[in-house]
Amino acid sequence: MTLLVQITDTHVVQRGTLLYGMADTARHLAESVVQINAMRPRPDMVLITGDLVEHPGPRTYSHFRDLIAPLEMPVYLMPGNHDNPAIMAEFFGDTDMFPGEAPHYQYAIEGADFRILMLNSHFDDSELPFFGPRRLQWLEYELESSDQPTLVAIHHPPMWTGIGFIDMVGREWYENIGEIIADHPQVFKIICGHGHVDISGMLGKVPVQMAGAIAHQLIAGRVMDVAPSFDPMPVPPMLHHWKDGEFVSGYYPWPADADAERIDRSSNMAWEDLKDRMRGSMK
Ligand SMILES: [Fe+2]
């Protein structure tokens, strides 16, 4: 069994400030860290899929690093459009959190029931994604080198989302990724962030899951192309759960009072008796 927690788009700003004067991104991240540490059983690792900070630099990355320091399991990072992979490689170079190196800043995580390929869709000075020949070549090489089941993680969503300002970049940037993945059926899922909204889609026959953001959500227009609205609330951490070749994903809130609110306690019934009641005449 492998329990993998994903959080994304933490957008940490300088200490003592709010993102856009509205969202307390440091508090959101600190509360997520508390929830992840409280989860039972303990997750095996945490992936943070980009937009770690709002503006890349030593002051924001040191703030981010202090906020995730209490995490009790291995943590892996990737760059988003708001990050700078070169600064990240320098800043996290003395840790195991970001082994990505120039020129592509991509890496594989081994040792779980499946492999994880951490890709880089960052493009300098743009919010839009980029996935050039060297990154593609690395992806193809890694997929050729092992048939192990593989989860692909990338910041930008390589799929149609139905949200105009995300889809405006077009499909070209991920068409080649889709072709390589179609040739390598060991890829069972793609996870991403970026949209600050929770959407599942497809790249060819492979499911793509875009998690909502820790920093804030966007009420993004679907069907009609209108500007998104800002919602300064976080989502819970997302749990990806592998067991015997099956894989499920979903938000996994773990508030401090989770145990106190257990329905066996509030109803004064044993959990086995409650389950019998759920089974009803099926038991
Ligand atoms: Fe973001």
Superfamily of domain 2-252: Metallo-dependent phosphatases (3.60.21.10)
CA of 178 to the centre of ligand 1 (A): 23
Q: Is the pLDDT confidence value at 20 over 60?
A: yes
CA of 90 to the centre of ligand 1 (A): 22
CA of 242 to the centre of ligand 1 (A): 27
> Distances in Å between the alpha carbon of 86 and those of 78, 93, 143?
11, 10, 25
Give pTM, 2 decimals. 0.96
CA of 230 to the centre of ligand 1 (A): 12
Q: Is the pLDDT confidence value at 223 over 90?
A: no
- Report, as an integer, the average pLDDT of 30-55: 97
**177 contacts: CB under 8 Å, gap ≥ 6:** 119, 131, 136, 139, 154, 158, 203
Residue 282: predicted pLDDT = 62
pLDDT tens-digit profile of 25-35?
A: 999 999 999 99
- Report, as an integer, the average pLDDT of 130-138: 96
Closest Cα to residue 7, out of 139, 136, 172, 192?
192
Percentage of the chain modeled with pLDDT above 70: 99
In a 3-state reduction of DSSP, which class is residue 256? coil
- The structure tokens listed for 253 are 């809130």
CA of 162 to the centre of ligand 1 (A): 17
CA gap 122, 171 in Å, rounded: 16
Which of the two residues, 160 and 222, has the higher pLDDT score? 160
Residue 124: predicted pLDDT = 87
Question: For 185, which DSSP code?
Answer: T
CA of 213 to the centre of ligand 1 (A): 7
CA of 277 to the centre of ligand 1 (A): 44
- Report, as an integer, the average pLDDT of 55-65: 97
Place 283 in a pLDDT band, splitting at 50, 70 and 90.
Answer: low
Q: How many residues does the chain have?
A: 283
Pairing verdict, β 238-243 and 115-118: unpaired
- Residue 4 φ then ψ, to 5°: -120, 125
**138 contacts: CB under 8 Å, gap ≥ 6:** 104, 106
pLDDT tens-digit profile of 206-221?
A: 999 999 999 999 999 8
In a 3-state reduction of DSSP, which class is residue 240? strand
CA gap 240, 51 in Å, rounded: 20
Q: Is the pLDDT confidence value at 228 over 60?
A: yes
pLDDT tens-digit profile of 109-120?
A: 999 999 999 999
Q: Is the pLDDT confidence value at 52 over 80?
A: yes
Q: Where in the chain is the domain with CATH 3.60.21.10?
A: 2-252
CA of 29 to the centre of ligand 1 (A): 14
Q: Is the pLDDT confidence value at 85 over 60?
A: yes
CA of 165 to the centre of ligand 1 (A): 13
Place 222 in a pLDDT band, splitting at 50, 70 and 90.
Answer: confident
Determine if residue 244 is left, alpha or beta; phi over 0 gives left, psi from -120 to 50 gives alpha, anything else beta: left
- Report, as an integer, the average pLDDT of 115-126: 94
Q: Give the number of C-alpha atoms closer than 13 A to the C-alpha of residue 75, restricted to the C-beta side.
A: 21
Residue 81: predicted pLDDT = 97
Q: Is the pLDDT confidence value at 16 over 80?
A: yes
